[in-house]
């Protein structure tokens, strides 16, 4: 089975408070985009599990990859056959795009379908939460208001298919733990009802990502990317998650000079 786990962007991200378990309660809008990895799995003909990863290099040992951990869970819990898994990484890591969580969630959905496990959406979300706070989002993979650690999801009626989105990923790695340590939580959740009534062009003055203050001071090039996206016509631009990817939403395809983001990975044309 071949799957295409896609990325997501955060539209606004507020850090509300620190939980007793050490995590933080957040408020955000999760929106799926078409930037995707390629994930394939099939029963092993040799009876030996293999995991092969190509494309963007993922830091750490492959045994810690979320796809491997998902497989081990299903092998132990549901006695599925031994698999061969191949993952080609296209979604940048340490970018705030949820690529690893998406890989895990899509593998959960794929295994459920391939082996006719008949797991409900709720059960798959429950399983997904073991592998990441934003992992449950990718089970339904629809725009949602996210709260709690990111696992409490409510549908959000948003369609950006008429827009053009550009995602810029510089060669900067941001530690999520370090980013959270820099935040002073504030009980100020996103007003999703108000946001839903506003046009994308009004978001810039009312939608905030709490991580930007810290990351922009530490990495001024991120602020420059955002300013350049706005300068070239973005209706709304923001860093996604804890970074380091920054995106811009445009009404039409922008004419951006090639040299502007020469040292970055640039992904575009996801919507029109």
Please tell me the distance from the alpha carbon of residue 248 to that of residue 228, in angstroms, as a whole number.
10
Which residue out of 14, 37, 103, 134 is catalytically annotated?
134
| Token pair of 82 as six digits | 């031994």
Q: Are 197 and 210 in contact (CB under 8 A)?
A: no
Element (H, E) at 55: strand 50-55
Look up tokens 């990484």; give the residue: 89
Which residues lie below 8 Å from residue 95, measured CB to CB, with a gap of 6+?
Answer: 169, 240, 241, 243, 244, 245
Residue 196 dihedral angles phi and psi, to the nearest 5°:
-65, -25
Which residue out of 8, 109, 125, 169 is catalytically annotated?
8
Residue 8 is among the residues annotated as catalytic for this protein: yes
- Edge-to-edge strand ranges of the sheet holding 50-55: 2-3, 38-43, 83-89, 50-55
Burial class (CB in 10 A: 0-12, 13-18, 19+), 154: exposed
Q: Are 171 and 263 in contact (CB under 8 A)?
A: yes
Q: List Cα–Cα distances, 251 to 30, 167, 203, in angstroms.
A: 20, 15, 14
Identify any residues that bridge with 84 across adjacent strands, giving them in sequence order. 42, 50
Residue 103 is among the residues annotated as catalytic for this protein: no
List active site positions: 8, 134
């Amino acid at each position: 089975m071949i799957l295409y786990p896609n990325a997501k962007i955060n539209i606004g991200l507020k850090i509300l408070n620190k939980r007793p378990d050490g995590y933080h309660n957040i408020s955000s809008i999760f929106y799926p985009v078409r930037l995707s990895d390629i994930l394939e799995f099939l029963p092993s003909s040799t009876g030996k599990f293999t995991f092969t990863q190509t494309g963007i290099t993922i830091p750490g040992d492959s045994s810690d990859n979320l796809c491997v951990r998902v497989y081990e869970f299903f092998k132990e819990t549901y006695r599925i056959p031994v698999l061969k898994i191949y993952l080609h990484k296209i979604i940048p890591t340490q970018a705030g795009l949820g690529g690893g969580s998406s890989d895990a969630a899509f593998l959960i959905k794929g295994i459920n379908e391939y082996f006719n496990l008949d797991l409900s959406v709720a059960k798959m979300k429950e399983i997904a939460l073991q592998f990441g706070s934003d992992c449950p989002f990718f089970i339904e993979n629809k725009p949602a208001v996210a709260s709690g650690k990111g696992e409490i999801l409510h549908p959000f009626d948003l369609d950006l298919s008429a827009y053009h989105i550009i995602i810029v990923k510089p060669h900067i790695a941001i530690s999520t733990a370090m980013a959270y340590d820099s935040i002073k939580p504030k009980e100020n959740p996103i007003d999703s009802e108000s946001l839903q009534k506003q046009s994308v062009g009004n978001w810039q003055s009312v939608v905030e990502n709490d991580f930007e203050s810290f990351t922009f001071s530490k990495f001024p090039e991120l602020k420059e990317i955002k300013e350049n996206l706005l300068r070239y016509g973005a209706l709304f631009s923001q860093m996604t998650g804890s970074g380091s990817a920054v995106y811009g939403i445009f009404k039409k395809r922008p004419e951006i000079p090639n040299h502007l983001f020469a040292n970055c990975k640039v992904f575009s044309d996801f919507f029109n």
